[in-house]
């Protein structure tokens, strides 16, 4: 049965060797979805987890925002979103570096431009969950935007939506 699921997800192909370990558990959790949709949600979740963990801590507020976003973006039940987010958070602790780039590259290759912008907006939302966006989180969002090949001007426009939570600007924006 497991090999059938791996085959259905396209993970039995030789090029599937490049599928990061980070995604494998997430794909198993999403096994009942159409394969491309499962991969989209898994990559989306991993990228959310990457930004949430950029400051070496994922808060309960960030977790809750991630669950809400995965539920809404993925169109999946809350319980499944909670499982996927839990796996994404664990994966961001265990796996990183090269896999981060591979996941972002694959997301960028399969997502539309609007999906990329929606992801970036969600990344800002996760990082703003605790009222202030850390420098590490903002740096990670910009790194992901470059990996997705999103224009800097578009990132700046999204960034300005969160100006009251940005490092260095948050205090001035409240005055």
HEC string of 62-74 equals: HHHHHHHHHHHHH
Structure tokens at 152: 């800097």
**pLDDT surpasses 80 at 88:** yes
Percent of the chain residues topping a pLDDT of 90: 48
Contact 74, 44 (CB under 8 A): yes
Domain range for 136: 5-173
Q: Are 74 and 81 in contact (CB under 8 A)?
A: yes
Report residue 149's pLDDT band, with 50, 70 and 90 as the boundaries.
very high
Distance (Å, rounded) from C-alpha 19 to C-alpha 130?
32
Query: Is residue 96's pLDDT more than 80?
Result: no
Give the domain CATH number at 36: 1.10.3680.10
Angle at 72 between CA 69 and CA 75, to 5 degrees: 135
Distance CA 123, CA 26 (A): 19
* Mean pLDDT value across residues 69-95: 85
Q: Please give the average per-residue pLDDT across 11-27, as a whole number.
A: 56
23 and 46 Cβ atoms separated by less than 8 Å:
yes
In the predicted structure, residue 5 carries a pLDDT above the cut 60: no
Q: Among 126, 130, 158, which residue's Cα sits nearest to residue 142?
A: 158
Pair of tokens at residue 141: 């969002």
Structural domains of the chain, count? 1
- Across 140-158, average pLDDT: 96
pLDDT of residue 21: 60
**Model pLDDT for residues 20-38, shown as the tens digit of each residue:** 665 666 666 667 778 888 8
Q: Which residue has the tokens 């991630």?
A: 66
Residues comprising the chain, all counted: 175
User: Could you report the per-residue pLDDT of 97-148, keeping only the tens digit for each?
Assistant: 668 888 999 999 999 999 999 999 999 999 999 989 999 999 999 999 999 9
């Amino acid at each position: 049965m497991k090999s059938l699921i791996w085959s259905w997800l396209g993970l039995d192909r030789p090029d599937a060797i490049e599928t990061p370990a980070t995604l494998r558990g997430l794909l198993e959790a999403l096994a009942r979805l159409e394969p491309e949709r499962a991969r989209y949600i898994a990559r989306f979740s991993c990228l959310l987890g990457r930004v949430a963990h950029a400051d070496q801590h994922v808060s309960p507020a960030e977790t809750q925002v991630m669950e809400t976003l995965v539920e809404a973006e993925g169109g999946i039940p809350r319980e499944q979103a909670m499982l996927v987010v839990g796996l994404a958070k664990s994966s961001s602790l265990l796996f990183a570096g090269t896999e981060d780039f591979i996941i972002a590259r694959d997301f960028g290759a399969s997502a539309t431009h609007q999906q990329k912008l929606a992801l970036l907006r969600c990344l800002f939302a996760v990082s703003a969950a605790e009222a202030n966006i850390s420098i590490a989180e903002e740096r990670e969002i910009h790194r992901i935007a470059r990996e997705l090949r999103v224009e800097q001007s578009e990132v700046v426009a999204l960034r300005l939506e969160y100006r009251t939570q940005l490092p260095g600007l948050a205090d001035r924006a409240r005055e």
